[in-house]
Amino acid sequence: MRRLLAIAVLAGALALSACSGQSVMAPIVKNVGDLQGDTIDLRVGQVLDIDTGDLDVDSYTATVSDTSIAEFVQGRDDGSAVFNPGITALAPGTTQVVLSNEQGGIQDVVFEVHVDQ
């Protein structure tokens, strides 16, 4: 269901960008279990959409080593839509991200984000 919601949101964004003449970068979608030790390549303005699987989207927090390069966006459920947590690329560079889950018993997920212009 989440994947369908993400696809619908992306399709809507692409349709709107076609009307405005601006291009939209597709988000990179990764399962949280696949991020450990990985390096994610993003471009400035691109988003890493983190699929939390069966865990609540708002149960994750993150520490980004260099917040001038990337920022964490908290997941949320507003009652009408579910938004996965994510990382937004802000500026070129590389930074480490430590993703933690408040539900306990889950190991921190540590990965790098590399941002190109």
Could you report the per-residue pLDDT of 11-45, keeping only the tens digit for each? 555 554 455 556 789 999 999 999 999 999 999 99
Residue 27: DSSP 8-state = P
Per the CB < 8 A criterion, the answer to whether 53 and 103 are in contact is: no
pLDDT along the chain (117 residues), means of 10: 51 51 85 96 98 93 98 96 97 98 85 97
Domain-wise residue ranges, the chain = 27-116
Q: What confidence score (pLDDT) does residue 20 get?
A: 53
Give the class (CATH, top level) of 27-116.
Answer: mainly beta
> Encoding tokens for residue 28?
């990179």
Give how far Cα 48 sits from Cα of 66, 79, 105, Å: 16, 23, 24
pTM exceeds 0.85, yes or no: no
